[in-house]
């Protein structure tokens, strides 16, 4: 069954990791997908692997108002409408405390992770009113539980959670649902690069497996499946939900007992 047959998805951050898995899941479910990224090389590589008439790529930065307005207009011009806006684009660096984070770094994280949602909603809301569509935000488990050395990132994900609920109330009268997914650890290219550069990669894999009570750190497809459900009519009476896709990582107390973790490329484990 194609859950998104004849739907149009506006997906930010859709060329890598969880976003790429979502793009594939949405397309397989029958949707036309407009994929937005600010990374030219990533866009090119993704287009070489995943391209047909129902996929449209746009180079744009979600933190820039004019870029998002252009991307929304281009999507409507190409596909005629927008049914779903999935705000997946996000950055996690720097790996720092509040006091060690510069003002420029703080603003960058908020401008992408939170203001990006402001931009897509501001310029896409009329299209969603017309289609009675829905909005899906990519949050994180750390928006609820916190994480050391990621003050700015966790702050943005807490903001995303609160914003999701407020938007759900604001737009319910238009038949627009607003939800979010909150993963814990997920194997993405970035996480694999980080883990391979640790002193003992085997310990890192065990650590990432063990923080999830279900026993393993998943691939991005498990998040994509949850996103597909929330974006589809099967979730037609769900709004304001922050759905954990965490394997139970928020349950109980777990602490890494192996060798100390290292920062690599200004990144730590991103949950």
Residue that the structure tokens 């207009």 belong to: 73
Instruction: Give Cα separations from 263 to 4, 96, 188, 212, 270 (angstroms).
Output: 40, 10, 17, 22, 11
Q: How far apart are CA 40 and CA 209, in angstroms?
A: 33
For 203, the 3-state DSSP assignment is: helix
| Cβ atoms < 10 Å from Cβ of 240 | 15
Candidates 28, 17, 16; CA nearest to 7 is 28
Beta strands 55-59 and 177-183: pairing type? Answer: unpaired
With helix as H, strand as E and coil as C, how does 121-158 read? HHHHHHHHHHHCCEEEEECCCHHHHCCCCCHHHHHHHH
Residue that the structure tokens 């405390």 belong to: 97
| DSSP annotation of 101 | S
| DSSP annotation of 53 | T
Q: How far apart are CA 113 and CA 88, in angstroms?
A: 9
* Known catalytic residue at 57: no
> What number of CA atoms fall less than 13 Å from residue 58's CA on the CB side?
24
* Residue among 20, 57, 153, 171 flagged as catalytic: 153
Q: How far apart are CA 140 and CA 118, in angstroms?
A: 18
List, by residue number, the catalytic residues.
153
């Amino acid at each position: 069954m194609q859950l998104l047959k004849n739907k149009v998805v506006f997906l930010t951050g859709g060329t890598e990791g969880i976003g790429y898995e979502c793009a594939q899941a949405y397309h397989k479910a029958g949707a036309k997908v407009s994929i937005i990224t600010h990374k030219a090389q990533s866009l090119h590589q993704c287009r070489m692997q995943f391209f047909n008439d129902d996929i449209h790529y746009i180079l744009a930065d979600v933190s820039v108002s004019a870029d998002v307005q252009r991307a929304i207009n281009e999507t409507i011009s190409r596909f005629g409408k927008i049914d779903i806006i999935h705000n997946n684009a996000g950055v996690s660096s720097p790996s720092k405390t509040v006091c060690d984070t510069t003002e420029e770094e703080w603003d960058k994280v908020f401008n992408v992770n939170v203001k990006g949602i402001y931009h897509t909603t501001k310029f896409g809301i009329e299209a969603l009113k017309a289609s009675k569509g829905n909005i899906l935000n990519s949050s994180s488990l750390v928006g609820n539980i916190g994480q050391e050395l990621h003050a700015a990132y966790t702050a943005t994900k807490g903001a995303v959670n609160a914003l999701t609920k407020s938007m759900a109330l604001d737009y319910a009268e238009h038949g627009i649902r607003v939800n979010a997914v909150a993963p814990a650890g997920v194997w993405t290219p970035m996480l694999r690069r980080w883990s391979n550069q640790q002193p003992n990669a085997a310990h890192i894999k065990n650590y990432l497996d063990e923080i999830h009570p279900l026993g393993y750190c998943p691939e991005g497809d498990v998040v994509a499946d949850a996103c597909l459900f929330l974006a589809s009519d099967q979730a037609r009476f769900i709004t304001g939900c922050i759905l954990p896709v965490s394997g139970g990582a928020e349950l109980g107390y777990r602490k890494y007992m192996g060798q100390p973790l290292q920062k690599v490329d200004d990144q730590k484990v991103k949950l």
